Amino acid sequence: MSLLLGRRSLFPRRLNIPFFLRTFSSSRPTFSKLEGISETPQERQLPEHAVISTFDLFSIGVGPSSSHTVGPMRAGKIFITDLKELQLLKKVATVKINLYGSLAATGKGHHTPQAILLGLEGSDPETIIPTTIESRYNNILANKVLLLGGDHLIHYDMDRDMLWRWDQVLPTHPNGMRFSAFDEDGDLLATNEYYSVGGGFVVNDKTQVDENLFYKGVDKSVVPPARLHQTHSLTEPTLNSPSLEPSSSSRPSQHNDDTIPDAEAGPPHPFESGNSLLALTQRHNMTIAQIVYDNEKSFGYSDEDIHKKIFRIWSVMDECIQTGVTTNATTLPGRLGLRRRAPILYRRLMRGFYPGVMSPPSNNARIEADSNPSETFGGLIDAPKSRGEKFYQTKQGSSFETMGARIVDPAIPSAKRAPRVIGAFDHPLLPEPPRKTMIPAVDFLSCYAIAVNEVNASGGRIVTSPTNGAAGVIPAVLKYIIEFVSDDPDKSIMTFLLTASAIGMLFKRGSTISAAEGGCQAEVGVACSMAAGGFAACMVSSPETVLQAAEIGIEHNLGLTCDPIDGLVQVPCIERNSLGAVKAVTAAQLSLASHGVYSVTLDEAIEAMRLTASDMSVKYKETSLSGLATTVKIPLTVPAW
Ligand code: SF4
């Protein structure tokens, strides 16, 4: 059995390391040693399939980062849970935390210290109340105490006990942490290293075979083995297989709540690549979403569980958009003082999807010099209006009863000012007059994506999809489908998320979803690909077209670097999600219009991404050591206000 992660890590691995009681090693590789690393072909030939649970890929957590916030919080909780199990917790007098590589380089801006310390206090990313994080963290710093596991108080001095090894990298992954617990005499009780490998997944050398469980603290003794390992069913169908004829008789009969497949056998439809996934859809005459759905049942979920969990994910995504567009807060945390734009964009769109919800006061988000949102009717989105226009609420019971209808009132004279034209009028080429630049699909997608990422940047509740930095792309595209495309939203939500999940699994296995390994192509690039596939699937397109949409989605993100300014998940991250969402829809549209004519497969693009990630300088892998992180001065040359 391989001890690898069910994914092709871009970094060399160290195996057979004892779990506890490790001592520090004095020699560490530096950043420069990691540049240009690539694996041998033998190392890439991994036997594991790509199938993990959709509910491990899409997990509910807090912002701003899946690898730097969600993962470290889980790691802290895992460490404490193990100390409890070993009955060592009460003996602990001091905890030392070492952060390595990217975690050290951008951890402050990504709230890594808060995450680890609250994880050590027993908190979990899914259940922690985001608004309590700051006050609890400040309390730890001010009082120099840490309540380990929620019931064992120790002295904790941030300056003394957290060490930032930004110029050192642990061999397994650039997002490394080492936690060590000491007793009153200063003797080492236990130590362990954890790696936050992207998307909130946490592994160490002990947990590499069951990463999908361990980071969630699930009791491994009571779950189906399929969720523990990815080494089952190594023979997969191929497109050349003679048994590819669609056959309803070959369909497993798993479609009732009482029937859960033999968990020992692993997922019924294992796939390792886009090619093998496509073969499965052809063999069983199923969609990609149906393949994933049946696989979920091998993880112990009933039909009802799957529906509940999918709609829970969507409801958190949707609430996130709603929070982002209706917040009264004007700026994001951090020294950039960045202005929130989602409320402004939403108001500009002049319509709302949340009945009865008021948009923020106009002084927070004024978009036109002559707009006066206070003149709108109660409960309506106070969209900007120009002179000569009034807003009327339509009659109760109509399909637009909660929305304002914009009507031009002829009784009010329109006193339009002459538009200001910029440029010389005594030139052979006259300047263009100002025009309204509403492109509704683009504007809605941007608004949704930016809303989610502003919530993420402020440490709010978020669905890691597949990471936090890229958490806006998938909700934005799905929201657009629900509001403007689908005539059966419930089915579209299922189809979209399960399809996107399959594509995310392929990236996790074949390349990476960690910016510290692959730059932003691993975050926004992967999210774009997943959303493109999900969008195409909701257009009733063939699995081949879906995979082609996903291919286009990543192909045009290859090489995308990660260079967040000041280590904050704000610039370029927030806008980049908006571009990712627009690009995803464009990719799907291109695929739908291509009638099966294409030249690059998804598998080839995923491999290209892996190679590109290998060759990419570590300066562009979530370290803020180059790119915008170094060219943009703080305070910003272009004011955020
Ligand atoms: S630049 Fe991309 S990968 Fe880097 S933190 Fe921002 S969203 Fe994440």
- Model confidence pLDDT, tens digit, residues 365-422: 333 333 333 333 333 333 333 333 333 333 333 333 333 334 344 444 444 566 688 8
Q: Whose CA is nearest to atom 1 of ligand 1?
A: 562
Q: What's the CA-to-centroid distance between 211 and ligand 1, angstroms?
A: 23
Tens digit of pLDDT for each residue in 49-68? 889 999 989 999 999 999 99
Other C-beta atoms lying within 10 Å of the C-beta of residue 328: 12
Distance 457 CA to ligand 1 centre (A): 11
Q: How far is CA 215 from the centre of its chain?
A: 17
Q: How far is the CA of 560 from the centre of ligand 1 (A)?
A: 9
Percentage above 70 pLDDT, the chain: 71
Report which ligand 1 atom has the smallest distance to the Cα of 563. 1
Of the candidates 293, 354, 598, the one whose C-alpha atom is nearest the C-alpha of residue 482 is 354
- Residue 438, judged by CB atoms within 10 A of its CB (0-12, 13-18, 19+), counts as exposed
Average pLDDT for residues 89-95, to the nearest whole number? 97
What's the pLDDT band for 435 if we cut at 50, 70, 90?
Answer: confident
Bridge-partner residues for 59, per DSSP?
464
Q: How far is the CA of 189 from the centre of ligand 1 (A)?
A: 37
Is residue 135 pLDDT above 50, yes or no? yes
- Ligand 1 centre to CA of 515 (Å) is 7
Protein residue whose Cα sits closest to atom 2 of ligand 1:
520
Cα of 431 vs centre of ligand 1, distance in Å, is 38
**Residue of 464, 576, 612 to test ligand 1 pocket, by largest number of atoms within 8 Å of CB:** 576
Separation between Cα atoms, residue 529 and residue 591, nearest integer Å: 12
pLDDT-derived band at 557 (thresholds 50, 70, 90) equals: very high
Q: CA 230, CA 209: separation in Å to the nearest integer?
A: 8
Is the bond into 635 cis (omega within 30 degrees of 0)? yes
Answer yes or no: is pLDDT of 252 > 50. no
Query: What radius of gyration do the chain's Cα atoms show?
Result: 26
Distance 561 CA to ligand 1 centre (A): 8
Confidence class for position 43, pLDDT limits 50, 70, 90: very low
User: What region, left, alpha or beta, does residue 368 occupy, with left being phi > 0 and alpha being psi -120 to 50 degrees?
Assistant: beta
- Residue in the structure block whose two tokens are 């003679």: 242
Q: Give SS3 for 528.
A: helix
| Distance between CA atoms of residues 248 and 239, nearest Å | 18
What's the CA-to-centroid distance between 353 and ligand 1, angstroms? 29
Write the residue with the smallest CA distance to atom 4 of ligand 1. 562
**Which of ligand 1's atoms lies nearest the C-alpha of 470?**
7
pLDDT of residue 379: 31
Nearest alpha carbon, ligand 1 atom 3: 520
For the stretch 109-131, pLDDT in tens is: 999 999 999 999 999 999 999 99
Question: Rounded distance, CA 103 to CA 325, Å?
Answer: 30
pTM passes above 0.85: no
- Residue 390: phi and psi, rounded to 5, are -130, 160
Q: Are 224 and 299 in contact (CB under 8 A)?
A: yes
More confident residue, 29 or 635: 635
Residues touching ligand 1 (Cβ under 6 Å) are 469-470, 515, 520, 523-524, 562, 564, 569, 572-573, 576, 622
Instruction: Give the phi and the psi of residue 268 in degrees, each rounded to 5.
Output: -65, -25
Q: Whose CA is nearest to atom 6 of ligand 1?
A: 573
Q: Could you identify the atom of ligand 1 that is nearest to the CA of residue 561?
A: 1
- State which of 108, 462, 524 you would mutate to test the pocket of ligand 1, scoring each by most atoms of that ligand within 8 A of its C-beta: 524
Asked whether 254 and 296 are in contact (CB, 8 A), the reply is: no
pLDDT at 401: 34
What pLDDT, on a 0 to 100 scale, did the predictor assign at position 303? 98
Residues 6+ apart with CB under 8 A from 339: 330, 331, 332, 640, 641
pLDDT higher than 50, residue 533: yes
Give the distance (Å) from ligand 1 centre to CA of residue 450.
14
Q: Which tens digits make up the pLDDT trace of 257-270?
A: 434 445 456 899 99
**DSSP 8-state class, residue 339:** B
CA of 85 to the centre of ligand 1 (A): 36
DSSP state of 212: H
Q: How far apart are CA 583 and CA 578, in angstroms?
A: 9
557, 569, 577, 621: which to mutate for ligand 1, most atoms within 8 A of CB?
Answer: 569
Query: Which ligand 1 atom sits nearest the alpha carbon of residue 515?
Result: 3
Contact present, 232 and 295 (Cβ < 8 Å):
no
Contact assessment for residue 118 and residue 76, using Cβ atoms and an 8 Å cutoff: yes
Q: By mean pLDDT, which of 203-212, 425-434, 476-485 is the weakest?
A: 203-212
- Listed in sequence order, the residues at least 6 apart from 110 whose beta carbon sits closer than 8 Å to its beta carbon are 64, 65, 68, 69, 567, 568, 569
3-class DSSP state of 192: strand
H or E segment and range at residue 507: helix 489-510
